[in-house]
Structures are given as structure tokens and as C-alpha cells.
Amino acid sequence: MPTYPISIRYLSFLLLSIALLGLAGCGSDGGQRNTSEESWTRGDVVAGSDTFPVPAEIQPNVDFWRHVYGIWGRGEVAIHDEEHMGVVYEVIKLPSPIKEGYTDPQRSLVRDRTDSYKGQLRLLEERVRTGQSLSSSDKALLAKLEQAGGRGAVYGAADRVRSQRGLRERFHRGVEISGRYDTAFREIMRSHGVPEDLAYLPHVESSFQTNARSGVGAAGVWQFMPATGRMYMNVNDTVDERLDPIIAADGAARYLSQAHRRLGSWPLAITSYNHGQGGMANAKAQHGNDIGDIVKNYRGQYFGFASRNFYAEFIAAREVTRNADRYFPEGVRREEPWPHDRLVLQHSMPVDHVAGHYGLTPYRLADLNMHWRDPARDGRANLPAGSTVWLPAGTKNRVAGHPPPVSTTMVARVKPKASPVDLQAVAKVGRQSAKPVPAAAASTTQRVAKVSPKQAAKASTKQQVAKAPTAQTAKKSTTASRYHVVKPQETLYRVAVQNGITVAELRKLNKMRPDDNNIRPGQKLKVSI
């Protein structure tokens, strides 16, 4: 008796599912279904290369993600088999309004269509198992599954039903944003001796959304986890360089270079960006370097949907971006390359000290430096030595010289008045030098001496502004050769950036070959003449 009501409810659910499928055009004469199939089967085979091969086993995966990125918009949702990616049951057209998230009616529609396919597939599996006769719609579904995964693909198909919303608009915008960083990313990849096209990886990770954060803690365009990020950049309470696309690109290049040395294959190295090097080493031990065999047959504990598809998504993103005019005939307006000057701090100092030296406001600098955390932005913590500060384009030509170290001697702090360069002279305190100090530079975490009202008024009346070093002075200070001693984990690119020169210039100064990236801890490199 207890099982009778359950059986009735299950039978009712199956009948309802069949009815819904019929309304949706599941049969060969269904208009909506035929339209969906046409939008799926018109795809081209994506060619691979020696560096990025595309074996037959993952061609359906690549074509699926090519549709997600370049064909299906956010108003379309594909109902598909999550293991056999070539099996797309239907592409739902969502009712208006079309927004970033689902409306309640849209969510209900997707859930109902997904449930209805699960119901029919359970019924189909039962009929195949027991040798019952099949309807025309059953035969069509079975043929689709058999073509993708053989006769056995029908078993468990109901548990593999998944929905995927189109990302065309988001990807299109990502291609436009990528114009800001593509040149810098490719230079970074070249400097580490890895393929330039790895610059496409953020399309998969974040669609180039600079503030992207995942539910598990990954952050930034390159989606580094905190622990991994600390291995390649500064991630602390003051700065989080995962949020700086260019700094994080250097970390990604170093990670991928290391992964390739360990795994011996770019498909495996790229997949390790999602699954980890240890996981891919296990996959390689069982299936070799064949990414097609790994995707099809590897059953690692955490090798789930995201890991299985990561390399295919990269190939699809590369295909769509390289052929953006074809996929986005409405036009792609790529942003101008990142135009700002890069300063690598030689000393720890507060933001307003840097701003004062260059005649800028701390607020303007904060807008350019996405990796600064609140303690750095509001002056409660110093920026660490070796960290990057982005300045408005042309700033380093306008103001020569690096910001001087912050004096540990107590200095007076006078609130500045508004001026074109946001600088004010401050009163000389005790036996300090008579040279005026920018007010912004006086904001430190050191103790601040009190200044009498009379002294402050006298200083304010003079309105002295700190002078930047002249070009002649700057030139004189750099006549002697400078050297950099390589630290552990440093790369040729990072040494070049820290010293304000290009990798090519650094190689030339040290008589290195154009393709030589090898340096070692303790090595003394010439960084200027």
C-alpha cells in the first residue's frame, strides 16, 4: 500500500513530461525543436595546431562552447547532456525581459523543460532495458545518444541533463575589454617563453571582468585563488595583486610555464589551471598526454564538468576571439591598450607620499590601482616596497625621479589648500632641512610633531612647492651603472619591470640571447648604463 501512491505520482509525472515534450516540438514535426537543432548543427569543426591540438573526442565540447560564446545569447538556454556535449536536446527561447539573471518565469521555464527531459529519458531507459517498443520521439532521442556515446549512453542520461545559458553578449564585451590588456599580456607570455595565445585564457575565467570573484575565493581577471596567488604575487592586507590584470598575467605565465615543464603538454598545463598540477599528473599517469582520452575516460575524484571542459572552453574562446568579426558582425570596439605609466616602488611608503611627489591626488591614484586594499587607500598602511603603482600616462616624463624614501625623523603635517598640483610647503621642524616637503608626503604611519599656529601660518604664507628633480639632475644621478641581484622566484620580466626597462633592453645590457629567459638567484644583472 505505501508504494501505490508513489507509483501513481511517478506515472503522472511521466505522462505530463511526454505531453510537455510534444508541445515543445520534440517529435520530428516540432517547429521549435527543428529550429534549435539547426542552430546547433550549423557549427564548423575547429581546427587545432601542434601547440593546441583538438582531438576528435573533444570536438563536440569545443563546438558546444563555441556556440555558448559566439552564437547563443543570454535569451537562449541549451538543455544538453553534460558528458556527451554533442547531445543538445533543445535551445529554449526565454520570454522577455532578458536580463543578466533569470526572472521567476524564466527560471520556472528552464526548470520545467529540464525536468520534462529527465522524465522522458528515465522512461526511455526503462523501455530499452525491458525491450519495450519505442515511439518516434524515443527513437530520435536514442539515436542522438547512441551517436554521441554508443548504446550504453542511454543509461544514466536522465541524471546528466544540464542547462547552459548563452554568453554571447558577455563574451562580446570581454573581447572589447581585452583590447586594453592584450598587448601587455602577449609581451608577458613571450618573456616567459610560453605561447602568446595563452592571453585568451581570461575569456574563460572571467570574460575580462576586472572585479570578478568566485564563490570559492578566486579573484580578478585571471581568477587566482588566494594561496596560489601568494606564490606568484603580493596578496596581503595591503595589496591584492590578483586584482591587477597585468601583474596577475605575469603570475599566470609563470604558473603555466611551470605546469608545462611538469606535464609536458599544453592541453594538460591549461587544464591544470582549473584542476591543479597534481590532479593532471594523476590523469597523465593513467592516460598519457592525450587530452581527448583524459576528457573521455579519466574519472579522478575532482575531475568534474568544469575540469573536463576547461581546455575545450579555451579552444572555443580562442576561435571566437580570433574570428570576432565573423561572430559579432555588429562590430567590436576594442579598448585602447593600457596607457598608464608603471612605477615599481623602491621603498615602502604611503599612497599620499607617492601622490604628492607626482602632483596627483590619492583618489586619482586609487582609481588606477585596483589591487590596493582599503588600508592602503585610506593611508592606514604603507604600500610595500616592490609593489606596482600605476600613474597617469606621461607622469614619469613630466616628473623625473622616484619618490624619495619617507624620513623616519618626525615631520610636521600641515593640511594643504587646494592647488593645481595638490602640494604645499610645510614648516621646518627642529633641525630638519630647510627644503620644503609636499604635504602629501607628510602622511605616514610615523609619529607627527606638533607645529605651532605661528609656524604653520608662516609656512602657508610662503606657498612653497617642492620641486621635482630637473632632467639634468636625473641624468647625472644615473650616469653610474646600476645592478640588480636576482632574488628567489624572480623572473627576467619582473626584474625588467622593477627597474623600468624592457626585457629586450635587459637582455642587451647583460649580453643575453634574444630568447634567453634563464636567470638564477644571486645573479648580478646590469639594469642601467
Q: What single string gives the DSSP state of each residue in 319-364? A: HHHHTHHHH-TT---PPPP---EEEE-SS-B-HHHHHHHHT--HHH
Whether the pLDDT of residue 324 is over 70: the answer is yes
Whether the pLDDT of residue 267 is over 80: the answer is yes
What digits encode the pLDDT tens for the residues 38-86? 344 445 678 778 899 999 999 999 999 999 999 999 999 999 999 999 9
What value does the mean pLDDT take over residues 230-245? 95
296 and 248 in a common domain: yes
156 and 20 in a common domain: yes
The confidence score (pLDDT) of residue 29 equals: 34
pLDDT interval class at 176 (50, 70, 90): very high
Please check whether residue 351 is in contact with residue 325, taking contact to mean a CB–CB distance below 8 angstroms: no
254 and 140 in a common domain: no
Whether the pLDDT of residue 420 is over 50: the answer is no
- Min mean pLDDT across 240-254, 441-455, 472-486 is at 441-455
CA 69/CA 178 separation, integer angstroms: 15
Whether the pLDDT of residue 424 is over 70: the answer is no
82 and 15 in a common domain: yes
Domain end: 126, 146, 165, which one? 165
What digits encode the pLDDT tens for the residues 485-516? 887 667 777 787 667 677 778 888 888 887 77
203 and 160 in a common domain: no
CA 161/CA 437 separation, integer angstroms: 67
Whether the pLDDT of residue 418 is over 90: the answer is no
Grid cell listed for 91: 535551445
What digits encode the pLDDT tens for the residues 2-42? 333 434 444 444 444 444 443 333 333 333 333 343 344 44
142 and 83 in a common domain: yes
Share of the chain above pLDDT 70, in %: 77
> What does pLDDT average to over the chain?
81
Whether the pLDDT of residue 126 is over 90: the answer is yes
pTM greater than 0.85: no
Q: Does residue 11 lie within any of the structural domains?
A: yes
229 and 216 in a common domain: yes
What value does the mean pLDDT take over residues 83-107? 96
What's the CATH code of the domain at 488? Answer: 3.10.350.10
| Helical (H) or strand (E) element with 525 | strand 524-528
Residue predicted with more confidence, 384 or 19: 384
What digits encode the pLDDT tens for the residues 159-170? 999 999 999 999
What digits encode the pLDDT tens for the residues 342-357? 999 999 999 999 999 9
The confidence score (pLDDT) of residue 44 equals: 66
What's the CATH code of the domain at 220? Answer: 1.10.530.10
Residue 348 domain boundaries:
341-462
436 and 416 in a common domain: yes
Whether the pLDDT of residue 387 is over 50: the answer is yes
The confidence score (pLDDT) of residue 386 equals: 92
Residue 187, burial from CB neighbour count under 10 angstroms (0-12, 13-18, 19+): middle
CA dihedral of 72, 75, 81, 84, whole degrees rounded to 10: 10
Q: CB within 8 A of 29, min separation 6: which ones?
A: none
The confidence score (pLDDT) of residue 470 equals: 44
Instruction: Give me the number of domains the chain comprises.
Output: 4
The confidence score (pLDDT) of residue 240 equals: 96
274 and 176 in a common domain: yes
What value does the mean pLDDT take over residues 247-260? 97
CA 37/CA 283 separation, integer angstroms: 34
The confidence score (pLDDT) of residue 7 equals: 41
The confidence score (pLDDT) of residue 209 equals: 92
Q: Taking the chain, what is the end-to-end CA distance rounded to the nearest angstrom?
A: 93
What digits encode the pLDDT tens for the residues 275-309? 999 999 999 999 999 999 999 999 998 999 999 99
The confidence score (pLDDT) of residue 3 equals: 38
CA dihedral of 391, 393, 399, 401, whole degrees rounded to 10: 60
Domain end: 327, 355, 380, which one? 327
